[in-house]
Amino acid sequence: MRTPTTRYTILGAGVMGLCTAVELASRGVRVTLVDPRPEPGPHACSWWAGGMLAPFCEGETAEEPVIRLGQTAADWWAAQGVEVIRRGTLVLALGRDRAELDRFAARTREHQWMGGEALAALEPDLDGRFPRGLFFPTEAHLTPRVALCSLRARAAALGVAFVETAPEGQRIDCRGLAARDALPELRGVKGEMLVLRLPDLALSRPIRLLHPRIPVYLVPRGGGVYMLGATMIESAERGRASVRSVLELLSAAYALHPAFGEAEILEIGTDARPAFPDNVPRLLWRDGTLFLNGLYRHGYLMAPVLARMAADHLLSGEPVELLQ
């Protein structure tokens, strides 16, 4: 059993570092958060996330702990004062990909089959475009950039100190892919995404469009702005979106609704997600440092989970789930 301390230094001010800082500080722990650029921005993988709090949809490919533990994420974010939009997730497929929808349904739970009229009642602008789909009513989403700024403000209000150079003391490493210098088993999974503006189309919830090769999702950001993502490429490359990927993403958006042919492209973003070989995030002790890493594509879903586990473990000295 480890002896709890009352002061910790957290490395990395992305979603994992900020969640951990807030969780510890809210329990009376003195926290210093270290990042060369502690203000949220496009330098961080968290900036480019979809922000979907969708544990049951992720169950198509995710391991059981992600599905089970991720169900608590929406309430955690709401408790921090972050706006959480609870309108569920809609999963659709084009006619030629009908088998993908059946396969998705067989691999997930907590969904409802919806016919064309029911789909149109949920999203009137999709009326007549899809004969059936899956609706996951308990899922939610948030806007990552707003959530990061809100969480940073909450951390500051709780007394978290933001610095550029790490002081001495007990460290918690939340650097994501940059932690490969200590965690060689980490790998990068590149994701490319776009931000589009289309005021003439009003979609109110995340929509996943299935495809056997490149399934995509569309997340409303309000004001006719949508985040469209995201590729899954086994690469640690962080700064280049390929023409092929952008074309595939835009083609999928156009297939969802032809109005996207007139959308304005506001941003094209890319970064690399940190992942362990089994794609399950975890806590690891290495040389006296506690690492929280491997969030993969589940950053906003699983960062609160790992933050709570880290605080429980550090303050009680007892082992927790996902600790290795």
159 assigned to some structural domain: yes
219 shares a domain with 78: no
What's the CATH code of the domain at 46? 3.50.50.60
Give the confidence band of 4 by pLDDT, cuts at 50, 70, 90: low
205 shares a domain with 73: no
Name the residue type at position 96.
R
- Whether 158 and 66 have beta carbons less than 8 Å apart is answered as no
Q: What angle do CA 177, 180, 184 make, to 5 degrees?
A: 130
298 shares a domain with 204: no
36 assigned to some structural domain: yes
Q: How many CB atoms lie within 10 A of CB 319?
A: 14
pLDDT computed for residue 165 by the predictor: 87
106 assigned to some structural domain: yes
224 shares a domain with 192: yes
Tally the domains of the chain.
Answer: 2
148 shares a domain with 131: no
Give me the domain span that covers residue 28.
7-82+141-184+277-316
Per-residue pLDDT averaged across 33-48, rounded?
86
Q: How many CB atoms lie within 10 A of CB 176?
A: 26
231 shares a domain with 199: yes
pLDDT computed for residue 39 by the predictor: 81
CA–CA distances in Å: residue 177 to residues 1, 53, 304: 29, 22, 18
What's the CATH code of the domain at 244? 3.30.9.10
228-254 confidence digits (pLDDT tens)? 999 999 999 988 999 999 999 999 999
97-119 confidence digits (pLDDT tens)? 999 999 999 999 999 999 999 99
Question: For residue 250, what is the DSSP state?
Answer: H
194 shares a domain with 126: yes
pLDDT computed for residue 41 by the predictor: 83
132 shares a domain with 64: no
127-166 confidence digits (pLDDT tens)? 999 999 999 999 999 999 999 999 999 999 999 999 988 8
167 shares a domain with 107: no
100 assigned to some structural domain: yes
> With 0-12 CB in 10 A as exposed, 13-18 as middle and 19+ as buried, what is 37?
exposed
284 shares a domain with 244: no
- Whether 160 and 27 have beta carbons less than 8 Å apart is answered as no
Q: Is the pTM of this model over 0.85?
A: yes
- Please tell me the least confidently modeled range out of 48-62, 204-218, 302-316: 204-218
pLDDT computed for residue 83 by the predictor: 97
**pLDDT exceeds cutoff 80 at 38:** no
pLDDT computed for residue 213 by the predictor: 78
pLDDT computed for residue 3 by the predictor: 53
Distance from chain centroid for Cα 3: 32
- Give 249-254's long-range contacts (Cβ < 8 A, gap of 24+): 249/192, 249/193, 249/194, 249/214, 249/216, 250/194, 252/209, 252/211, 252/214, 252/216, 252/228, 253/196, 253/216, 253/218, 253/228
pLDDT computed for residue 186 by the predictor: 98
pLDDT computed for residue 168 by the predictor: 80
Per-residue pLDDT averaged across 173-179, rounded?
96
